[in-house]
Amino acid sequence: MQSITAAALQQKILDKEDFQLIDVREPEEHEEFNIGGELIPLGEIMQQAEKIAADKPVIIYCRKGIRSQVAIQRLQEKFQLTNLINLIGGTEAWKKEFALNS
């Protein structure tokens, strides 16, 4: 499984690279704090798979990186997507890297 660090993701954002960012947490978690990703909760990811780009990198994140791993595994198994990237440590790593208070 491909993965990316919070620092590397921040650089992609600063460089305005073309990629899709997806948050697989629950709506209340997304409202509390997010890093700009489109919300598709883990429980809905398979039903909303058409929203996931197949032609560019897709970075998927959650709070700690576990739900995003599950989402990627499910999507890869069913749709053979090879462009999915897990944010290591999720939003917790992002907050730690950029010293944000939760």
Coil, strand or helix at 97: helix
Check if 9 is active-site: no
- Catalytic residue (one of 6, 9, 62, 88): 62
How big, in percent rounded to 5, are the helix, strand and coil portions of the chain?
A: 40, 15, 40
CA-to-CA distance for 73 and 84, rounded, in angstroms? Answer: 9
Strands 84-87, 38-39: pairing is unpaired
Residues assigned a catalytic role: 62
